[in-house]
Amino acid sequence: MRIDARTARLAAIVVVAAFAAGCATFSEDGGMDDVRKLAADRIAGKVELARAGEDGDAIPAQTKRLLARPLGVEEAVQIALLNNPGLQASYAELGIAEAELVQAGRLRNPSFDYLNTWHGSDRKLEWSLLFPIIDLLTLPLRTKVAGRGFDRAKLETARAAVGLASETRRAYFQAVAAQETVRYAEQVRETAEAGAELARRMARAGNFPKLTQMREQAFYAEAVAQLARARQNAVAERERLTRLMGLVGDETRFALPERLPDLPPAPAGARDAETEAMKQRLDILAAQRETEALAESLGLVKATRFINVFDLGPARTREGDEAWKTGFALVIEIPLFDWGSAKVARAEAIYMQSVQRVAETAVNARSEVRESYSAYTTAYETARHYRDEIVPLRKRISEEQQLRYNGMLISVFELLADAREQVAAVNAAIDAARAFWVAETDLQAALGGAGEPRAGGARSAAMTAAPARAGGH
């Protein structure tokens, strides 16, 4: 069974082209280097990203070292970026997108058709080797589409890392503030208990109004309930932080500092926050990459609207004792009933939808930045007011009340009431400081476009007209 020169040349050309197209390979880092750079530019402090299992025991050792001392906010963020299972799962999106890129750079396998029929002594043999020429012709477009998808996956993965960092910072400040609130709630309970016990003894002696005694007892009962709520809130906030850091077992016994960080000397300047956000927000960049990929997909759909199947290759036939007849086989789709107008219209609609999504994301981003900066400056001024005005004033009032008590000008109950008011002011100051640090985190998240990836938006692959498998020849 010999193959003539023309068939051999045709087969050789197709095989060489197919081989050249099938050389797409995976990258060494799987896109992680780009993700690290994107995330590092948008996360405060020096951070490290790593896939689980990449460095053996390095991640557990680093986590143990960071947990050996009272946990700072940057250390909490670093632990979360190394251990959070959800973030580790998001790295799989990189692998999926890169696999699609590599697959887009390869042709479908050729098909071999073989026919053997006989009737009595009459026999007919046919065979053909078909190569997907349509794949070869659309290879550049398909590769470009998948490349855009891989770029978008990097942006979304970096966005997940930045979002986790922001969420961990919020949880950290909430946990420290909740722990600090418990301490002051315990002081309120102790003060209320002392007042209730003193009122009970004085009432027993018969020289104390019953109504005043009941008020002291009611305040003590409320203080006990508030302490229980504060303790539960502290547990809930600590566990939320624990979950974000991905800690289990003995790792959950980490220590937090006793108080929140001091306020900065002044709030950050306004700068041109909106312009900065437009340049570096990951959600905007990801939406733009998606739109670019859809534009490429639209071109691919238009290119294959009429012919979606085009397979070509050498073929031979033989009947009975005749000599082999050599030629070629061609399988082509005939646009008889479907001229591809519906596919093109669908692709155009998806593309225009994506364009409007980008515009929506940009409008929302500008608004979020303005709102976040306003909340940030307001929270700073409020926290500073408590620190510089209200708490010092309450302290001076307490000192004056102590002098009046020493001079027997007020009763012990008035002194206890003032102490309770001072503790309440300190609690409000703690809450104001917590609100400032959360607002500062929200502002950084708004500038970087952190948070949950935007729902909706069709993947570009949904628009791509994948060549259909040809039927048998």
- Tell me the CB-side half-sphere exposure of residue 325, using CA atoms within 13 A: 11
Sheet holding 325-332, edge to edge: 111-119, 122-132, 310-319, 325-332
Nearest to residue 308, comparing CAs of 288, 326, 333, 291?
Answer: 333
pLDDT digits (tens, 9 = 90+) for 424-433: 888 899 999 9
Nearest to residue 161, comparing CAs of 96, 97, 98, 89?
Answer: 89
In this structure, of 63-72, 85-94, 194-203, the range with the lowest mean pLDDT score is 194-203
Mean pLDDT, rounded, for 72-84 = 92
- The widest CA-to-CA distance across the chain, in whole angstroms, is 131
The DSSP string of 12-56 is HHHHHHHHHHTT----SSTTHHHHHHHHHTTSSS------TTTTT
Is the pLDDT at 456 greater than 60? The verdict is: no
Q: Taking the domain 5-165+262-462, which CATH number applies?
A: 1.20.1600
Nearest to residue 173, comparing CAs of 463, 470, 441?
Answer: 441
Nearest to residue 125, comparing CAs of 323, 339, 405?
Answer: 323
**Token representation of residue 271:** 């700068």
Q: How many CB atoms lie within 10 A of CB 39?
A: 24
Amino acid letter, residue 154: K
pLDDT digits (tens, 9 = 90+) for 322-380: 888 888 887 777 776 767 778 788 888 888 888 888 888 888 888 888 888 899 999 99
- Tell me the CB-side half-sphere exposure of residue 211, using CA atoms within 13 A: 0
pTM of the model: 0.78
Q: Are 423 and 397 in contact (CB under 8 A)?
A: no
How far is residue 407 CA from its own chain's centroid?
62
| Domain spans, the chain | 5-165+262-462
Output the CA torsion 318→324→327→333 (10° steps).
20
**Token representation of residue 313:** 């290759």
